[in-house]
């Protein structure tokens, strides 16, 4: 009887631990093509580590997130990302930070994905209409956020933030990766180099080929 209890406990432990670890290790780059030798390879999933004896406070420091990004661009927003490239001490810690600035009425952080990070955002100034879309079948979740409001955008889902007020908007966001990455949907679809065959996009988006080519021109140098 005691043995049976032990077996059940053991099986539960095995099941729960395999459940907990039933996830690929997180990647810190878009891809990692396998190579046998190290001569032609690069070190991945993190950077080389500095000798801890030589580490200084500056390795964990970034000044200037009080400075607004310039929103004078085609979307009227600017994201200042403080990731491992700007704070080397973030290496292997799975976290980064961003400041988001939005021009008055209509400043948009266009629909995009962070392939490697969940985002938690807090509005400190202005009013943002934000949302994300689930994987198929696609459900939209939206919310209007005011100063002090917090919203979460789960890893890998398409999301956006839109300034719907007549004032600037400012938000800060934490991301659960030292290098969350970003794929801006419109740019990735209509502006990659080389461009995607317009027949593919015409069918996928149910658009005239002329319209597709017009969009490709628009995003070509965006």
Ligand X SMILES: *[C@@H]1O[C@H](CO)[C@@H](O)[C@H](O)[C@H]1NC(C)=O
Binding site for ligand X (CB under 6 A): 34-36, 51, 53, 69-70, 73, 78
**Contact indicator for 92, 174 with CB cutoff of 8 Å:** no
**The two structure tokens encoding residue 213:** 């080519």
Residue number with CB closer to ligand X (4 or 33): 33
**Any known ligand binding at 5?**
no
Shortest distance in whole angstroms from residue 64 CB to ligand X: 10
Q: CB of 210: closest distance to ligand X in angstroms? A: 29
Question: Based on CB atoms, which residue is closest to ligand X, 155 or 182?
Answer: 182
- Quickly list H helices, the chain: 2-20, 185-190, 198-205, 209-220
Q: CB 98 → ligand X: shortest distance, Å?
A: 12
Cβ neighbours, 10 Å, residue 153: 24
- What are the backbone angles phi and psi of residue 131, rounded to the nearest 5°? -170, 165
Query: Distance between CA 100 and CA 65 in Å, rounded?
Result: 10
- Nearest C-alpha neighbor of 102 from the set 132, 133, 124: 124
Smallest gap from Cβ 219 to ligand X, in A, equals 14
Query: Smallest distance from the beta carbon of 51 to ligand X, in angstroms?
Result: 5
Between 16 and 70, CB nearer to ligand X: 70
Going from the C-alpha of 31 to that of each of 39, 44, 112, 192, the distances in angstroms are 18, 10, 19, 17
Q: Which is nearer to ligand X, 155 or 183 (CB)?
A: 183
Nearer to ligand X, 37 or 137 (CB): 37
**DSSP states of 164-196 as a string?**
-SSS-EEEEEEESSSS---EEHHHHHHS-SSPP
Q: Residue 114 annotated as binding? A: yes
Contact 125, 147 (CB under 8 A): yes
Q: Which residues contribute to the annotated binding site?
A: 109, 112, 114, 119, 159
Q: Which residues contribute to the annotated binding site for Mn(2+)?
A: 112, 114, 119, 159
Q: Which residues contribute to the annotated binding site for oxalate?
A: 109, 114, 119
């Amino acid at each position: 009887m005691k043995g049976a209890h032990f077996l059940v406990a053991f099986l539960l432990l095995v099941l729960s631990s395999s459940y907990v670890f039933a996830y690929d290790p997180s990647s810190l780059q878009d891809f990692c093509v396998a190579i046998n030798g190290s001569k032609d390879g690069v070190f991945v999933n993190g950077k080389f580590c500095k000798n801890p004896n030589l580490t200084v406070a500056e390795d964990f420091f970034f000044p200037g997130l009080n400075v607004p990004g310039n929103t004078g661009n085609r979307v009227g927003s600017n994201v200042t990302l403080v990731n491992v490239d700007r704070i080397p001490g973030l290496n292997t810690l799975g976290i980064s930070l961003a400041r988001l600035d939005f021009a008055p009425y209509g400043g948009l952080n266009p629909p995009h994905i962070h392939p490697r990070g969940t985002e938690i955002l807090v509005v400190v100034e202005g009013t943002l209409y934000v949302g994300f879309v689930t994987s198929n079948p696609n459900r939209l979740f939206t919310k209007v956020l005011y100063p002090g409001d917090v919203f979460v955008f789960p890893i890998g889902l398409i999301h956006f933030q839109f300034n719907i007020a007549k004032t600037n908007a400012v938000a800060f966001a934490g991301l659960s990766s030292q290098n969350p990455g970003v794929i801006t949907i419109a740019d990735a679809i209509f502006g990659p180099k080389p461009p995607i065959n317009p027949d593919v996009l015409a069918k996928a988006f149910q658009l005239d080929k002329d319209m597709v080519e017009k969009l490709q021109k628009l995003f070509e140098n965006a």
